[in-house]
Structure 1
Amino acid sequence: MPLIKDAISSFLGKDQGWKWSEHLHPASFRGVPFAVVSGESVFGRRQAVHEYPYRDTAWIEDLGRSSRKITLRGFIIQDSKVYSAPDVITQRNNLVAACEEGVSGTLIHPTLGELTVSVTESGLRVNESADNGRVFEFTLTVIESG
């Protein structure tokens, strides 16, 4: 990753006075706070592809913006310095309950801000390990809804 960091630094210059970390939102889902390590989002357009005999190219019909799909990799931790929350098991239980509700909820994404989303099937995967004790890592996958 040093290559990417060097490329970004040379592209942006040494110090532009703008620090991206100062523009991050504290992450939460349905009011349950957590820390985010990384994320991935999918953006695009819905399309109908029409193919015709004796034509080498297709006619693409635009059907509007597709739903945004977001995956966050994060953790909940006992005695966090980033957010205030109860013990890690209660936090995990609160996050599970938030993900199992049957209606859309509010996700505060670190860079996208407030979004209305629904949790996908198997959308919350929690990794508990004796090595990490008071830290539970998780992956949360949601889709924008309205």
Structure 2
Amino acid sequence: MVAIRDVHNPWRDRFQRARFRSAIFYVDTDVRGGGRRTALHEYPKRNTPYAEDMGRAANKFVVQGFLITRDGTYLQLKDELIEALEQDGPGMLRLPLPYMMRDVEVMVQQYSITESRERGGMCMLDMTFVEYGSPVYRATVSTSGEIGKSASNVESNVIGQQQPTAETSDQAAPYAKVYDSANTPNNVPNLP
């Protein structure tokens, strides 16, 4: 009789428990997708197209998994995962064997949790995430206060300059007329 030895798989040493934010789950399959954004130019009467590289596309993660426990904490784990998936803003996603073994900051695009009578104490998960990326272009948040502040700055620059130059006077003239007519009591319409 031949003795069966445990075959060592190096990937098993790196296998980790999946989680989103602080909620754990188990993974059947996970798919990472990416690529390049391209603008394809095809010209009339030409046989050669031109594909313009518009930068890297956001990575997407499609995860199919499940939740199940032996100790009766299934409902608690399910509730924690739903809360994590429905929170505002980005969160950290850890997959069992991610690219370069790094967690990635993602936004939830959609999810579904399937439970059935035959499989009590267990649910199937389908989750889709998209890479959050770097929000460097979001220098300020456009709140109503920020918008009002910007509008006030523009207004004071257009009509409230103490020493207007010939160039700024020409540029501001149409706006000043609109401002004056809007603030003249005779031009305010009577509302019912």
Fold-level similarity (TM above 0.5):
yes
Structure 1 vs Structure 2 CA RMSD: 1.8
Pick one of 98, 104, 115 that aligns with 2:104.
Answer: 115
- Gaps in structure 1 of 5+ consecutive residues: 1-14, 81-85
CA contact (8 A) 1:67 1:144 kept: yes
What aligned pairs does 1:14-33 form with structure 2 within 5 A after superposition? 18-33=9-24
Point out which structure has higher relative CO (alpha carbons under 8 A, 6+ apart).
Answer: 1
Conserved 8 A contact 1:71-1:141: yes
Q: 2:78 aligns with which of 89, 92, 104?
A: 92
Aligned partners of 1:21 and 1:55: how far apart in 2? 53
Name the counterpart of 2:125. 138
Letter in 2 for 1:76: L
CA drift of 1:130 comes to 1.8
Greater alpha carbon shift after TM alignment, 39-48 vs 99-108:
39-48
Q: Secondary structure at the match of 2:37?
A: strand
Q: Distance in 1 between matches of 2:9 and 2:75?
A: 37
What letter is aligned with 2:117? Answer: A
Distance in structure 1 (CA, Å) of the matches to 2:92 and 2:103: 7
Percent identical: 31
Q: Is residue 44–residue 66 contact of structure 1 (8 Å, CA) maintained in 2? A: yes
Paired residues, number: 124
TM-score with structure 1 setting the length = 0.77
- Give the equivalent residue in structure 1 for 2:113: 126
Secondary structure of 2:85's match?
helix
| Poorly superposed stretches of 4+, deviation over 6 Å | none
**Equivalent-residue separation in structure 2 for 1:118 and 1:89 (angstroms):** 24
Measured in 2, the distance between the counterparts of 1:107 and 1:115 equals 5
> 1:25: how far off?
2.2
Give how far 1:75 is off: 0.9
Q: Could you list the per-position Cα deviations for residues 55-86 of structure 1 after superposition, in whole angstroms to 9, with x for gaps in the alignment?
A: 12211111121111111111111237xxxxx7
Larger Rg: 2
Superposition TM-score, scaled by structure 2 size: 0.60
| CA deviations over 1:6-26 (Å, ceiling 9, x no partner) | xxxxxxxxx7x6532222221
The AA in structure 1 aligned to 2:127 is: L
